[in-house]
Structure 1
Amino acid sequence: MKALVFPGQGSQKLNMGKELIEENPEYEKYLNIANETLGYDLKSIIFGDDLETLTLSENAQPAILAISYMKYKKYMEENEENIEVLAGHSLGEWTALVVAGVISYEEALKAVHIRGKYMSESCKPGEGTMAAVLGLDADSIRSALENLPNVVVANHNSLNQIVISGKTSEIEQSIQLLKDKGAKRVIPLNVSGPFHSPLIQNAKIRMREYLENVEFSQPKIPIIQNYTAKVETNPREIKENIIQQITSSVRWVETIELMDRMNIKTIVEIGPTKVLTKLNKSIIKDLELLSV
């Protein structure tokens, strides 16, 4: 029983996928499709020397999707096997939708480019941010921050790593509060906004309008979605959940725990880095974890 998982924003790096293309030039077509679909040279940004430009949400999101999908196609060519379930972390859920046949690769590229743009524009620069909290559980974090209404748990990444999101001023206040509560470390993240929080509500509203005319199909492989941490197969519900995800918590711990209950024995991460593999290892100890 095998699952595939796909990472989200933050996993981007310059020259990701270059080695695969050098060894298998035919896979460059996926980046050429991205260029044609988006109307600008995403490939040159990925293989360039300007990390700041690649890190812009409207570039990073389609870039990660393109590289992850390209690596997925190569993996499946070499490993003809049944995949029982899919999941993706935040942006990575869009890659899962493409793999499941819910939405085309081209439509997903356009959607995540727009998603990244809307997320960046939904909050003034410097107004919101995120921080990773190490060594403190979610309930203790919520208790410590009960008097900071504009800070929420954004990503429940592992049993020992939780990301909070909110107003910059309140995130700064939260650092000492969480350390006093027992957090080992609280690390401010270099992000362009308070993702997965109500502060980017406008991005969710605009994304709902954008997706009104985008058709979602029945998935060929079941997907565990971030918003519900449940297996979803209904196209209408899948679309609603991917919209709600923008301002809601990424329930990654529950996702991996559900895979364990489904008797999944192997989880393969496909993307630019091994970030999810490290998280998964801390959630369920006896899973076989691979990364591509």
Structure 2
Amino acid sequence: MRAFIFPGQGSQYSGMATDFSKYKPWNEYLERAKSVLKFDIDRVMDGDEETLKLTENAQPAIFLASYVAYEQLRELGVDFDAVAGHSLGEYTALAVAGVYDFETGIYLVRKRGEYISQAVKPGEGSMAAVLGADLSMVEEEVKKFEELYVANYNSADQVVVSGKTESVKQFVEEMRKKKIKAIELKVSGPFHTPLLDEAKERMTKEIEHIKFRTPKVPIVMNSTARETTDPETIKHYVLEQISGPVLWYQSVNRMLELGVKEFVEVGPKNVLSSMLVKAGHPARHFMELLNEIGSEELEKVAG
């Protein structure tokens, strides 16, 4: 049983358009993205890091790259039995599972990014990853800082805190004093916190009139770490995760319980697959799979 998993914000990098343009589906989906977004997303993807990092740019950029990677795998006959996405990646997972089409997905993630940026101005919110710390200790420590929350439960030894920038910086410094590794992330907002309740309300108005379809494979949702197929339940929880925590570690464990034997990260960078490999789970980046398929085809020709 194979699960496709899709990365969230922080996986963007300048040069994405050039790198993903080598895949056959790129031109088609770039043009479809431009028709929805009304600007040249490829220029942003190859532009300066600070502009790309802005939530309203990073989210459609990652969505586009991830969807192109998925289409490349699909054209080569690579199948999957379940999907999940980390934060923003959940929107990609929903598109891949057939809950809505590509155009709807890239429209929603652009709006999601805009509303998040407008809810908390860029620079006023931030996030930090905490590595190798006891979870209960981190949960207690965040309570000492104003408007700081545990946002992502990424793995057994990695959690992410999120909130006001000043609180995040103070928290990182406090962790360093305790000899605990904490790294501020390249994001422009306090994702998955109550600070984004306004963004959640505005996204509710965007989504409530969109018809969600039953996914063709189970999707394990960020907010519950449980598989869901009911369209209205999916709609509810994809909104909940805007201002609530991402239960990624728990979601991975649920996929393992369901019988997933292989995870394939579909999108830029290899953040999710690296975490899974470190935890001893069978995972790889989609480019590894493409290289493997290419080697097999060469062997057939040679044979």
What TM-score results when the alignment is normalised by the length of structure 1? Answer: 0.92
How do residues 172-191 of structure 1 correspond to structure 2 at under 5 angstroms?
172-179=169-176, 183=180, 185-191=181-187
Residue from 82, 104, 108 that aligns with 2:105: 108
2:11 alignment partner in structure 1: 11
Structure 1 runs (4+) deviating above 4 angstroms are 179-182
CA distance in 2, matches of 1:171, 1:246: 19
1:72 alignment partner in structure 2: 70
2:28 paired with 1:33:
no
CA distance in 1, matches of 2:272, 2:126: 22
The structure-2 alpha-carbon separation of the partners of 1:188 and 1:9, relative to structure 1 and needing over 3 Å to count, comes to same
Q: Which amino acid aligns with 1:193?
A: G
> In terms of mean alpha carbon deviation, does 121-130 or 52-61 score higher?
121-130
Contact 2:9 2:187 in 1 (8 A): no
CA distance in 1, matches of 2:171, 2:281: 35
Secondary structure of the equivalent of 1:133?
strand
CA distance in 2, matches of 1:164, 1:19: 31
The structure-2 alpha-carbon separation of the partners of 1:19 and 1:279, relative to structure 1 and needing over 3 Å to count, comes to same
* Identity level (%): 40
Secondary structure of the equivalent of 1:111?
helix
Task: Note the alpha carbon deviations across 1:192-247, whole angstroms, 9 max, x for none.
Answer: 12111111111111111111211111111110011111101110010110101001
Contact 1:69 1:95 in 2 (8 A): yes
CA distance in 2, matches of 1:288, 1:191: 25
How do residues 160-239 of structure 1 correspond to structure 2 at under 5 angstroms?
160-179=157-176, 183=180, 185-239=181-235
CA distance in 2, matches of 1:84, 1:23: 23
Contact 1:131 1:165 in 2 (8 A): yes
Residue from 53, 56, 66 that aligns with 1:55: 53
Contact 2:142 2:150 in 1 (8 A): no
Deviation at 1:7, TM superposition (A): 0.4
Deviation at 1:125, TM superposition (A): 4.0
Q: Which amino acid aligns with 2:67?
A: Y
CA distance in 1, matches of 2:231, 2:178: 42
Secondary structure of the equivalent of 1:22?
coil
CA distance in 2, matches of 1:52, 1:175: 22
Deviation at 1:20, TM superposition (A): 4.7
The structure-2 alpha-carbon separation of the partners of 1:101 and 1:19, relative to structure 1 and needing over 3 Å to count, comes to same
Deviation at 1:123, TM superposition (A): 1.2
> Which blocks of at least 5 consecutive residues in structure 1 are unaligned?
none
The structure-2 alpha-carbon separation of the partners of 1:124 and 1:40, relative to structure 1 and needing over 3 Å to count, comes to closer
CA distance in 2, matches of 1:79, 1:113: 30
Deviation at 1:68, TM superposition (A): 0.6
Contact 2:193 2:243 in 1 (8 A): yes
CA distance in 2, matches of 1:54, 1:127: 17
CA distance in 2, matches of 1:20, 1:147: 43
2:123 paired with 1:129:
no
Contact 1:152 1:164 in 2 (8 A): yes
> Which blocks of at least 5 consecutive residues in structure 2 are unaligned?
288-303
Task: Note the alpha carbon deviations across 1:2-48, whole angstroms, 9 max, x for none.
Answer: 11000011111222253453363x531100100011111112222x3
CA distance in 2, matches of 1:224, 1:23: 28
Secondary structure of the equivalent of 2:22?
helix
CA distance in 2, matches of 1:60, 1:176: 27
2:256 paired with 1:265:
no
Aligned-CA RMSD value? 1.8
Contact 2:176 2:182 in 1 (8 A): yes
Q: Which amino acid aligns with 2:53?
A: T
What TM-score results when the alignment is normalised by the length of structure 2? Answer: 0.89
Residue from 127, 142, 146 that aligns with 1:145: 142
